[in-house]
Structure 1
């Protein structure tokens, strides 16, 4: 939204300066820089070099060669239809990079799945735990600018040097053990393996781990927001005796979650909305979805910390709807919510007379929530500017990938 000056005037300069501004900063000390992505055929073979000679840019180039199109993904799904087959392949790949399932099961995991709000909930949970003194690791998908954003330690993306080093460790280990006719794992699976490797090697420096993709091993706490379309698939991610927390669901959706939880004897809890007396709206945007994300993050953090003191807590199977009590929001909880950095989600920033409303929504539900937020915020700003007799215009910029 721009006012007063002709829209074309200095437009490109404003756009370029914005995309090198605070949107791409995690904190003042951590600058995210964009990189050029070259197209490389999937059959491309990278020349063997000494590990220290391989750069971050080369790692990104090699990783992009593992991108898969829709046809390849479908063929792979047909080849590995059974979940047990996928788990066997993942276990084998983990072993090849030096990580065992026993080692993974020793990691404290908060796993978040669902239709929308996974990233925001994970970021809020991780921020709250750090404010309580925990050292954390974080794995997410997708990224906004640089792929290394997906793997974080103590709230920051791992460095280019660390990313490059771990990428080539995993790449070389898997490449050297490929059987005839085998391919390297596709992009997402490769990064998942790499994240496990980082987490394993950095285990003394980053516990617990917060993740919001589909898990391959047993989490200690699970959470989710679901719609009816994906409940049958994602509801099955309940694990035996793993504390599971959900935001309030419609009757049919709740019934599916309860069935899945009872099947594996996992305790299922519901995170209640914030009470008005908690004044959470003073901290977070006046948006229903973010309120739900925050209430879920608060409950997940509380259960995680209480289970660290007593592993037997929150493990008794539940029957029917079991709503958790409200958490007293101490200063650590409030600071975790206030200081949480999740760029590109409900992100508003001003630069050179232009107000940018940025959101990285990538599902139809998330796009709907982003629109509600934009309409609310932009309407207020338009009214303020027009009251000052200033001209306003609205321009939509978007990026579309896939079909």
Structure 2
């Protein structure tokens, strides 16, 4: 064979080997977890196991204050103190409350964005994807930016000093907001206020506006069993020199406690004015209260009249504000049927009453209520409220989108076996109240097996259950 042919054969063989070597390398690369996937895996491992959590509650474990102080030391140490220095220069809106704090935070964020500010919003929980908790200009943070901030914080801390899920995410949000250079930050409190990690936000030269929305009874094993104790915990976000705002509280004891806590900070407490609240049209009940707090907060920030009636621009902002899963209506097809779906993640007595009032006006035809109750919440009072709707059926399902996902539940805080136990309890109570009750293994299975006469479905009782519905509908905005 001629030398040129041998050379050509060698080239072909070399190219063939290189091609297959590249294919193997690429296949290996594809199997490697991305930085984002690795972040999610690490984050899930920061969830507190249910049994461990219950043991800590029974034994006392580390007190809330001790955990808070640990997280404070961690924050101060990050980036050798530079993260704290950056945060001190960024204005903060801090929102606590039993109900409406997420919606109020979303309204504040939209108003500020309309004023030309680049916003950073931190809320909880998420419906489908953890990125929803950290928003830049109203949009969930990108996978790339989330992974960057997550690993930046994670790698600075050893296993003993990494806080649990929510607290760690708060630190990630702090870093993301400073890295992405937002102009203003809005933080929704997780639980309480005094010892919530969001309260670690450092006092500095920038403005700080602290808001408390409607207060009621929830998380009593953590915050206390009286409305005064709960109110005091919520007022834990108040800081001396900040602008302090509250809605007009339903419980006089709650209002009095908030004034007392403000007095301790030697700072006046502003109650969202009745003139403003009553001038807000097209909104009812709690939504009016939430809107009045949001408008008051933004007006204070800009030094505007807090007593004046709502303006046309403010009303347009309220109508444009979108907060998924809260008094939201969508249409859903199951085969040839078109169902009207009412979504509201109400899970406290007060919020569920408001939800029921809203649903009574929005329902069309025969109504079914698809619900779940999570954690240590008492079932009977919630079922009593739902029964006022006189639903044709009460449908029970765990917080799962599809039945095929039963073995893939990542929630260590409230595992599937505990959800099933809670559903057993709901079913027993519902049957004793002569409510027609059906149970299924997922939201998808529930909606696909509804009795023919059902035309409207209210999904409520848990934001995680509402989130399961959103997982079925990736076409819906979040």
Separation of aligned partners in 1, 2:326 and 2:128: 13
Determine the structure 2 residue equivalent to 1:170: 153
TM-score by length of 1: 0.70
TM-fit CA distance, 1:108: 0.2
TM-fit CA distance, 1:331: 4.1
Which 5+ residue runs of structure 2 have no aligned equivalent? 1-28, 190-195, 217-226, 368-451, 466-478
SS at match of 1:345: coil
Counterpart pick for 2:208 among 209, 215, 220 = 220
Deviations for 1:41-60, whole angstroms, at most 9, x for unmatched residues? xxxxxxxx9xx973323322
TM-fit CA distance, 1:391: 5.8
Alignment pair present for 1:188 and 2:166: yes
CA contact (8 A) 2:339 2:456 kept: no
Determine the structure 2 residue equivalent to 1:232: 232
Determine the structure 2 residue equivalent to 1:372: 357
Determine the structure 2 residue equivalent to 1:17: none
SS at match of 2:303: helix
Which 5+ residue runs of structure 1 have no aligned equivalent? 1-48, 308-323, 383-389
Alignment pair present for 1:288 and 2:276: no
CA contact (8 A) 2:277 2:292 kept: no
1:2-401 map, 5 Å: 54-70=34-50, 72-73=52-53, 75=56, 78-81=60-63, 83=65, 86-97=68-79, 99-175=82-158, 178=159, 182=160, 184-203=162-181, 206-213=182-189, 214=196, 215-217=199-201, 218=203, 220-225=208-213, 226-227=215-216, 228=227, 230-249=230-249, 250-273=251-274, 278=279, 280-282=280-282, 284=283, 287-306=284-303, 325-352=306-333, 353-378=338-363, 392-395=454-457, 397=459
CA contact (8 A) 1:245 1:268 kept: yes
> Cα gap change, 1:126/1:245 in structure 2, threshold over 3 Å: closer, same or farther?
same
SS at match of 1:173: coil
TM-fit CA distance, 1:66: 0.9
TM-fit CA distance, 1:91: 3.1
Higher relative contact order structure (alpha carbons within 8 Å, sequence separation ≥ 6): 1
Greater fraction of residues in helix: 2
Instruction: Give the greater-gyration-radius structure (CA).
Output: 2
Give the CA RMSD over aligned residues.
3.1
Separation of aligned partners in 2, 1:294 and 1:216: 26
Deviations for 1:213-243, whole angstroms, at most 9, x for unmatched residues? 1321347010102232611222233211211
Deviations for 1:8-28, whole angstroms, at most 9, x for unmatched residues? xxxxxxxxxxxxxxxxxxxxx
Determine the structure 1 residue equivalent to 2:9: none
Separation of aligned partners in 2, 1:399 and 1:272: 31
TM-score by length of 2: 0.60
CA contact (8 A) 1:109 1:221 kept: yes
